[in-house]
Structure 1
């Protein structure tokens, strides 16, 4: 898509727009009063034009006029239009039942791809495997036969081994799938998996900021939190509660600590513990063998003074390892300021 080199990046040259984008501009210009035009499009065309409309951005008045002239001789431009999710949803609501509008908008906002199988190909393999592991092996075999081979391979790797092997065997024996069965599977994926994926991906802004604050060094974090407390104490407290910091590793159970110890480099662990509280340091030592704890203490003593920046980096790396382990279900993390268990 060619955007203008002029003000605000408006689209100036309509000849560079695709067919669906041109149709989207025309329908936006005509507005809700002419929504009946959509009734002449089939469902796939509605999806394609809606997708183009939702991501269109600003179109200059001159470009709108040129496009309208192509369709209606002598018609002048109606001014700049802006394509957005909200505008698209309002236009669709003028002629579609609310449940169909909601489903369509969920698809537009969901993973990229024209068909359901294209969309599945853009879903993280661990997320997709976590959903499919609760389905019948035959259903999983059908799904994996419809996505690209490299993505299917990654999903199979993320599934429990016995279950994955059963799915492979079903795929080897699979005959052509009847259209109605395929439609049913596709509908189930759309109604259950994709809609849930969209809901879980709508992240609270405070959660996002907590992750960003987690990545700050101590001085930067303290500066931002302090400034935020002066202007919005409630937001600062909520972010602080959602943050998962190095000292929160002290809430791990013994099994979780031992799993984390096996996953962390020894020199990184020594540097991270060098700057930790005595309580957390002793907790880690108590989950090592006596000999390993003694060697670790000696290594930390031999380091001498260390830079705070290096300690922060080692602690942040350990927190990230812990989150990765939690995402794989190998440990359970408990967030700061809460008694509830939080899976990252």
Structure 2
């Protein structure tokens, strides 16, 4: 017997789909085995958000399959039939990725549309000033919870409106925020809804944690961001270090000008450069290797080709040593990092 599904969405042009809908479409096109490999890397809220959209996309045309693969993989799909999604597909893919018990729990929540994301949709699609007026009297933990559903840009606007002492507490709680049970989110929403007029909605995902706190600080004024991070490191050195490590990633090296990259490369071992580039994107490899001599670049490429399989932790360690050199040179005034508001920060996956 089929599991009840959220209301299916009417066919829509691929160009008009939200980012979450596109991800859901991709997972359907990949098939259950391929989708399972990706789904097992998502957290609880991401699973629920994407699963909801997968269940709504009951039918994906051949044209949309091609659009999905063109955007996500740039590989043409050789297929002659349409692909179907729906709740049964979601249930099967989830069982293969997270197990039958957890899959059953997620499917039940998705089918009833009772998820933290669905609950918070009612209060977040508004200006930062309006949100501030709604939550300014709430506890720091509550403010952090609401902030976790906002974009980094809107979060930074909201944070600037808070008193400095409250701002520090919210940053710390945001960085340590775990996935929140639906019952807690619903209680928070119920309290705030009493003050809220109107009905707003958008595609949301709770993204509390170290990465979210780092993104928020990246979106803020540089001097204020440094001040907040310094204060946090005094109170909680381990947490402060974890946030700092997320604020500039290995992929962000492409944002630096060649002269800065040359200074960085003079500070590191060539072995670290080769190891760090083992799984790096072509864009990063080109940016770094173009800043050394042709012969040196050839030597690095040869070393990479002879390395064989490396452990992810060894690659991450080499990349971390390079980022440490970046931070050291920045603190000494030798190089200047790009403004976060002028570029997009992304995490390296190895």
TM-score bucket of the superposed structures, by smaller chain: 0.3 to 0.5
TM-score (norm 2): 0.36
Q: Specify which structure has the bigger relative contact order, considering alpha-carbon pairs within 8 angstroms and separated by 6 or more residues.
A: 2
Largest Rg, 1 or 2: 1
